[in-house]
Amino acid sequence: MDTRLTELSVDELVARLASDAPVPGGGSASALAGSLAAALVHMVVELTAGRSEAAGDEAALGEIRVAAASLQSELTRLVDADAAAYASVMAARRLPRDSDLERDARRVQLEAAIREATRAPLATARHASDVLELAERMAPIGNRNAVSDIGVAALLAAAAIRGAILNVRINLPFVTNDEELRTGAEAEVTRLLTGLEERERSVRDAVAERIG
């Protein structure tokens, strides 16, 4: 890619997603959703900290602030990392395969690229799950006037988890010569999806209760 996705304007990024180019795709969109979710959690922390009604929660708010900022940064990085990983897959598939040497070189490069194209969305799903946990923690203590933003953060984080996992699953069958990645990724996908609907619902319920 000639330009990092995170350096594009919103209009440019949306247009790039809408084009017939395979990169960026759902993996980058999932990472962006997760980053936006972390940013919303961070925003609500800033709108809550220092208020008299949050006096007993300042330590927790400080922890959530640091975690949200870190996750926001990492998920933003994964917007580009996911696109770069899949671009490498496409580049490897275009390599020549006229001779045995070329076929071997192509196979090695393609296997490595697919592994990265699996690891990137898996990292996105993992970090988005951490964002959802922060939203769970913020729902009962966040500024009541901004609690709806925590609800949006939870929705975005859950969408990021599900979207990223779709990208893991579509690549996983092509992971070869790396049983540890295959087995580990399958186990982590199961872990991340277990209880996801209940977690998302608990935030929605907490937000709805505080909105009144």
Residue 195: Cβ-neighbour burial (10 angstroms; 0-12, 13-18, 19+) = exposed
- Its pTM stands at 0.94
**Confidence (pLDDT) at 1:** 58
Structural domain boundaries enclosing 203: 22-211
In a domain, residue 1? The reply is no
Closest CA to 16 of 81, 80, 75, 95: 80
In a domain, residue 17? The reply is no
Question: Cis (ω within 30 of 0) for the bond into 22?
Answer: no
**Confidence (pLDDT) at 55:** 84
SS3 at position 140: coil
The values of phi and psi at residue 23, to 5°, are: -125, 125
CATH of the domain at 66: 1.20.120.680
Q: Taking all residues of the chain, what is their mean pLDDT, rounded to a whole number?
A: 95
Element (H, E) at 171: helix 147-171
Q: From the centroid of its chain, how far is CA 7?
A: 18
Tens-place pLDDT, residues 15-73: 999 999 889 999 999 999 999 999 999 999 999 998 988 889 999 999 999 999 999 99
In a domain, residue 52? The reply is yes
In a domain, residue 4? The reply is no
In a domain, residue 6? The reply is no
In a domain, residue 177? The reply is yes
Q: Per the structure, how many domains does the chain have? A: 1
Assign residue 122 a region (left: φ > 0; alpha: ψ between -120 and 50; beta: otherwise).
alpha
